[in-house]
Amino acid sequence: MIHASLKQLSALLAEQKTSSVELCTEYLDRIAALNPTLNAFITVDRDRTLAEAKIADARRGQGEAGALLGVPIAHKDIFCTEGWLTTCGSKMLANFVSPYDAHVISQFKAAGMPSLGKTNMDEFAMGSSNETSYFGPVKNPWDLKAVPGGSSGGAAACVAARLAPAATGTDTGGSIRQPAALCGITGLKPTYGVCSRYGMIAFASSLDQAGPMAGSAEDCALLLNVMAGFDSRDSTSLQRDKEDYARDLDKPLQGLKLGLPKEFFGAGMAPDVAQAVEAAIAEYRKLGAETVEVSLPNMNLSVPVYYVLAPAEASSNLSRFDGVRYGHRAADYGDLTDMYERSRAEGFGAEVKRRILIGTYVLSHGYYDAYYIQAQRLRRLIAQDFIEAFKQCDVILGPTAPTTAFDLGAKNADPVQMYLSDIYTIAVNLAGLPGMSLPCGFGADGRPIGLQLIGNYFAEARMLNVAHQYQLATDWHSRTPEGL
């Protein structure tokens, strides 16, 4: 049952061949057995999960028949979940039990999907390897020496190892897509504003977006149907008609124009990644797609632009963690300033501090115009590049990450090298576009490779269609790591 898709699980539940309690028990047992090795979860609470499963079973017993009613899911520990520890991977919030549910969490609760627990992540979603988590790194299920990617590393690893059939993630610069690629699963970042950010602990507000992570594009479509929707509590949430993201899955790809940005295919991409992406392009041509070369001339600016804007917003967003009302407060302190300094020095890890410092610097008097304003200007140019590119194609295709998963510890000494692992994903957040990653092969080291699709604004359904057709023709997404 653990290898079943969401659709299959839903059918088993509908046919009463299993119950939500049974299903959750099986996953919980698997978590109990494997999480000590993988460290994909920060919090597991068997009783709570089973209580939620019982409610789902009772709802089904009363004749309710939601598409995912009773199917469990794991939530990234960035989502506030009422009554659960919500740590955001940080010592700062190691003791924080949320008194309320994030909008995304309420949506899953309303759909009757029990929570299997809270997944590990880079501290405050700042990282690309899950190594900045206060709760220790997550191991890549394909190779325990490798990182799972980040920041949604726990989510990606738990889906890859089938500790959960699905998980939520968040993506600020690639935090869903890059770990999905490195762990060989499918993950989608929607258009900015499609999923409410209410209750999702903010890293960089203008870039953060929640999305689904699962075994296939089809599963992601079903999950997005639950997650997406207007929420009046988030001013950046978009008021749009409810749509069925699975509606176009079965459309053939004849006539599809796939855009290949030349900037994606230059130096920097590892040969095995390049080979796998080329093979995927060949597969798409077989499926009836045409390819067109497009250009994103300002792509090379996306990493520096991102590392001005995201830290700027983060430096302000993280000011609320001051030890006054909740979270970590230093045990010993003198005056007020000392309390702030010690609480924050103790509560935040090195990467978070680095970004707070960068952000504070770029917003400071005398530097603001040169950094923040300039970065905003360039951000608009980057978005404009995509708008131009989409005049020539329907969906953009390229690699998700330049390499397969790297070894734990390999990039810790060099933040810039770490930042460059998001080079293909960051521009998508800057432009606010939807993007996804799906498995397209394995590297020389046997670690998974991800293919990135980028859609036009609100073209999630089209993007999912393009991914699904590929997954009908290939089986990369149904491979699972051995030995687990």
Stretch that binds other proteins, among 51-59, 85-93, 211-219, 259-267 (CB under 8 A): 85-93
230 touches other proteins by CB under 8 A: no
Q: Which one of 175, 216, 237, 437 is the catalytic residue? A: 175
45 three-class SS: coil
3 touches other proteins by CB under 8 A: no
457 touches other proteins by CB under 8 A: no
Which of 266, 250, 260, 263 minimizes the C-alpha distance to 285?
A: 260
Stretch that binds other proteins, among 21-29, 39-47, 160-168, 200-208 (CB under 8 A): 200-208
> What whole-number distance in Å separates Cα of residue 428 and Cα of residue 299?
10
192 touches other proteins by CB under 8 A: no
Q: Which one of 151, 152, 343, 421 is the catalytic residue? A: 151
Longest dimension (CA), the chain: 70
Q: How far is the CB of 459 from other proteins (least distance, A)?
A: 22
**Nearer residue to other proteins within complex by CB, 124 or 284:** 124
Q: How far is the CB of 319 from other proteins (least distance, A)?
A: 2
> Which burial class, exposed, middle or buried, applies to 266 when counting CB atoms under 10 A from its CB (0-12, 13-18, 19+)?
exposed
Site residues for other proteins, window 412-441 (CB under 8 A)? Answer: none
Q: How far is the CB of 377 from other proteins (least distance, A)?
A: 13
Which of 366, 371, 263 minimizes the C-alpha distance to 310?
A: 371
Bridge partner list, 442 = 448
470 touches other proteins by CB under 8 A: no
Q: Provide the phi-psi class of 239: left if phi over 0, else alpha when psi is between -120 and 50, else beta.
A: beta
Q: How far apart are the first and last CA of the chain?
A: 15
Measure the CA dihedral 81/73/471/252, to 10°: -70
**Nearer residue to other proteins within complex by CB, 361 or 458:** 361
Contact code string over 339-368 relative to other proteins, x by CB under 8 A: -x-------------------x--xxx--x
Q: How many residues interact with other proteins (rule CB under 8 A)?
A: 44
- Percent helix, strand, coil in the chain, to 5, is 40, 15, 45
**CA–centroid distance for 108 within its chain:** 16
Contact code string over 86-125 relative to other proteins, x by CB under 8 A: x-x----x--x-xxx-x-----------------------
> What whole-number distance in Å separates Cα of residue 386 and Cα of residue 429?
12
Q: Are 247 and 461 in contact (CB under 8 A)?
A: yes
> What whole-number distance in Å separates Cα of residue 302 and Cα of residue 424?
9
Site residues for other proteins, window 370-409 (CB under 8 A)? Answer: 372
56 touches other proteins by CB under 8 A: no
Of 9, 69, 80, 226, the one binding other proteins (CB under 8 A) is 80
How many alpha carbons lie under 13 Å from residue 455 in its C-beta half-sphere? 20
**Nearer residue to other proteins within complex by CB, 220 or 318:** 318
Using the structure block, give the residue that is written with the tokens 């397209």: 440
> What whole-number distance in Å separates Cα of residue 404 and Cα of residue 178?
10
- What would the DSSP string read from start to end of 143-173? BTTB---SSSHHHHHHHHTTSSSEEEEEESS
**Nearer residue to other proteins within complex by CB, 62 or 239:** 239
202 touches other proteins by CB under 8 A: yes
> What whole-number distance in Å separates Cα of residue 93 and Cα of residue 75?
16
Site residues for other proteins, window 265-284 (CB under 8 A)? Answer: none
How many alpha carbons lie under 13 Å from residue 423 in its C-beta half-sphere? 23
175 touches other proteins by CB under 8 A: no
- Which residues contact residue 386 at a Cβ distance below 8 angstroms, ignoring those fewer than 6 apart? 296, 396, 427, 431, 433, 454, 456
212 touches other proteins by CB under 8 A: no
Q: Is 76 a catalytic residue?
A: yes
Site residues for other proteins, window 287-316 (CB under 8 A)? Answer: 312-313, 315-316
**Nearer residue to other proteins within complex by CB, 153 or 327:** 327
Q: Is 175 a catalytic residue?
A: yes
140 touches other proteins by CB under 8 A: no
Of 205, 291, 374, 480, the one binding other proteins (CB under 8 A) is 205
199 touches other proteins by CB under 8 A: yes
Stretch that binds other proteins, among 130-138, 162-170, 228-236, 258-266 (CB under 8 A): 228-236
Q: Is 17 a catalytic residue?
A: no
Q: Which one of 76, 118, 139, 189 is the catalytic residue? A: 76
> What whole-number distance in Å separates Cα of residue 128 and Cα of residue 73?
23
> What whole-number distance in Å separates Cα of residue 19 and Cα of residue 28?
14
Long-range CB pairs of 59-64, under 8 A, 24+ apart, other chains included: 59/112, 60/13, 60/14, 60/20, 60/112, 64/112
**Nearer residue to other proteins within complex by CB, 92 or 299:** 92
324 touches other proteins by CB under 8 A: yes
Instruction: Provide the annotated active-site residues.
Output: 76, 151, 175
Residues that bind other proteins (CB under 8 A): 79-80, 86, 88, 93, 96, 98-100, 102, 197-202, 204-206, 232-236, 312-313, 315-316, 318-322, 324-326, 336, 340, 360, 363-365, 368, 372
